Amino acid sequence: MKNMLLAGAMALALVGCGEKPAEESASTSSPAAETTADSATEAADAPAARSTDDDTPGVSISSAPGVAFDYSYAFRLDDGIISKVQQEHAEACEMLGVARCRIVDVRYQLNDEKRVEAQTQFKLDPGIARRFGADAIASVEKAEGVLADASVAGEDVGSQIDASQQRSAGAAAEVARLEARLKAGGLDKNERAEILGQISTLKGQLGDERATRKNGEARIATTTVVFNYVGTGGLPGIGHKNPFADAGETLMVSGGTALSFVLTFGAAVLPWALVLGLLILIWRSNAVVALRRRVGGAKPAPDTPAG
């Protein structure tokens, strides 16, 4: 009896997880999949991840139905750590399985300034996109890096799909009307050719609308998440923890303040200094002239010879 109750409880648990694809549910029965699930559970329960999740921008998919979201994060790390952290994020995606996470692009380069720049793009199940970003932030902070920027962009694809369906309904009704006109007969050759051309054009529009809706549904079904990694160029410390960055910023601010003071003081004093210098120059010139006159007037009379 206990075995039957246990089996019933397991069946209810599987029904509760009905959102997972059939092949994914089957794969979780293997030992490797169980290990992956345990690791994912431990990562979700990690304190660092929980504390970071509250700071991660994100929108619940239940509060924004039909909206396709794109997440973007920028991390600042020591150059030598970026490849390791990038690999950790890729492995986290692989653990989720291709049904829930796929890596679509990976880039790593050393720029002309000898600083590492890297990027990894993912396609994720919308329900786990925010959590995936929070775990990534936690791993970056564990590597003594910081989150430099984060943004979430959304597009109302659901409304576009509804509009496409309305256009398709109108085109389909027009095709039906034109085909009924053909069946009614009584058309000459030119009229028949014109109606056939209109039907062909409308059917082409129907095909384009179906493709548009298919692309929109695919966008809603997956969320794009992009991680950008930027190195520090070898400077110790990251962001606000970087003493050289703080010193450089302080130097720039102090230098700018000093230069502004010098320019302001010079603009205020220079005209008066020029006037004062001109007055001193005039006074000195007059003094020299007066001195010469006094010296010239004080010359002794020439000696007269004795008689």
What is the pLDDT at residue 117?
93
Cβ contact 81:143 at 8 Å: yes
Coil, helix or strand for 70?
Answer: strand
Cβ contact 205:171 at 8 Å: yes
69-123 pLDDT, tens digit each: 899 999 999 999 999 999 999 999 999 999 999 999 999 998 877 889 999 999 9
Partner residues linked to 121 by β-bridges: 105, 226
Q: Where are the beta strands (DSSP E) in the chain?
A: 67-77, 101-110, 116-124, 146-156, 223-231
Cβ contact 213:164 at 8 Å: yes
Cβ contact 153:70 at 8 Å: yes
Distance of CA 216 to the CA centre of its chain: 22
d(CA 105, CA 301): 109
The domain limits of the chain are 26-156+221-241, 159-220
Contacts of 108 (CB under 8 A, 6+ apart): 82, 83, 86, 116, 117, 118
The tens place of each residue's pLDDT in the chain, 307 residues long, gives 434 333 443 333 333 333 333 334 334 444 333 433 444 344 334 433 344 445 555 555 555 678 888 999 999 999 999 999 999 999 999 999 999 999 999 999 988 778 899 999 999 999 999 999 999 999 999 999 999 999 998 888 888 999 999 999 999 999 999 999 999 888 888 999 999 999 999 999 999 999 999 998 888 889 999 999 999 876 555 444 455 555 555 666 666 777 777 778 777 777 887 888 888 888 777 777 777 777 766 555 555 555 4
Does the predicted TM-score (pTM) go above 0.75?
no
Residue appearing with tokens 């924004």: 64
Coil, helix or strand for 143?
Answer: coil
Cβ contact 67:159 at 8 Å: no
What is the pLDDT at residue 44?
38
HSE, CB side, 13 Å, CA atoms: give it for residue 56. 24
d(CA 266, CA 201): 76
Q: How far is CA 240 from CA 76, 82, 231, in A?
A: 11, 19, 15
Q: How far is CA 223 from CA 117, 217, 229, in A?
A: 23, 11, 20
d(CA 166, CA 170): 6
